[in-house]
Structure 1
Amino acid sequence: MPRKQHLSFLMAIAFCAFLGITFVLSSRKETDGPVTAEFAAANQQALSVSDGILKGENKAAKIENATLKAELGNASWKLLHTMMAKFPDKPTDEDSAALKSYIHLFARLYPCGDCARHFQKILQKFPPQVATRSTAAAWACHVHNEVNKRLKKPIFDCSNIGDFYDCGCAEDPVEGKEKGKKDSFTPLTLSENEGSLTRGG
């Protein structure tokens, strides 16, 4: 008799465990469904970046190592100038807004705090110009020269910016495109007018 009670007791525990696991798994599925749907919906909403986020204070520390600071600066200028050289000739409003936002976020998040704060002051005086590839490239060259003036470095001739910072634009074969036919990408050339920007230009 005691053996039968022991077996009945174990079966009751097993049954309760089975019910408990079933309950947990079924309630978990119900919870996961709406959370996943909410998460997906939240990630599909348009990203809206406020002025406070774009132009907020950079809180990075000063970089004391001059070599590291120079390497970071050179790499950053190469990135910015190459980006301008690859910017569309006729950007959409969305393209222009994206580039303008990127420039402000770049200044805000730049890992050299001192450099970033100086660059943010330059952006206040000379806001990003993103109407065309040429204006974006001329603006980038102009602000680079503003930094060069502050650092007592030579001023770059902006009419040569397209040669100096090559965009790396190669003629990749595109399926369905006739060989020898060029796409709508035109090489970057700046006139003397485009190289000189006025405040807020």
Structure 2
Amino acid sequence: MDNHDQLSISRPPPSGWVGSESTRNTLYSFEIAPGWESLHRIASELTDWSLIAAWFQEWELRSVPCGDCWKHWRELKQTDPPPFGNRLAFYWWSHRAHNAVADRIGNPVWSEQDFDAEYGGYELMGFIDSE
């Protein structure tokens, strides 16, 4: 299964779930694909931004592959927490997070220009103007 396959949620929420029962039901209707692409695109695709923390928690569970990765992921979030309060800030946070992981494992990092061309931060402007 690659990062583009869509998964539906068919299990109870993890302990410490940040959403309510109704949040879970709404989130279940928004399919979550594991991997970087869905993280980078969520700021322009999730219409109810109040669900972002719950979506992110579910995304992490599907995308962070091993215990060692979790350790480094937690450290990254402590150093640079995801800014759930702002779509554009979250979009650029996903760029920094991706680059931090890529650099750590020896993969190429994205320039801001290449990242924005690939993931379309300009699409966020409609949301930002309406919020």
1:119 alignment counterpart? 73
1:76 alignment counterpart? 35
Closer/same/farther in 2, CA of residues 87 and 162 from structure 1, 3 Å limit:
farther
C-alpha deviations, 1:11-35, integer Å up to 9, x for none?
A: xxxxxxxxxxxxxxxxxxxxxxxxx
Q: What is the deviation of 1:151?
A: 1.0
Contact 2:35 2:63 in 1 (8 A): no
Q: What is the deviation of 1:162?
A: 3.0
Closer/same/farther in 2, CA of residues 187 and 162 from structure 1, 3 Å limit:
same
1:45 alignment counterpart? none
* % identical equivalent positions: 20
Q: What is the deviation of 1:150?
A: 0.7
Structure 2: runs of 5 or more not aligned: 1-12, 19-33, 126-131
Secondary structure of 1:124's counterpart equals helix
Off by >6 Å, runs of 4+ in structure 1: none
TM-score, L = length of structure 2: 0.55
Aligned length: 97
TM-score, L = length of structure 1: 0.39
Query: Of 78, 85, 101, which residue of structure 1 is paired with 2:44?
Result: 85
C-alpha deviations, 1:28-47, integer Å up to 9, x for none?
A: xxxxxxxxxxxxxxxxxxxx
Q: CA RMSD for the aligned pairs?
A: 3.2
1:53 and 2:7 equivalent?
Answer: no
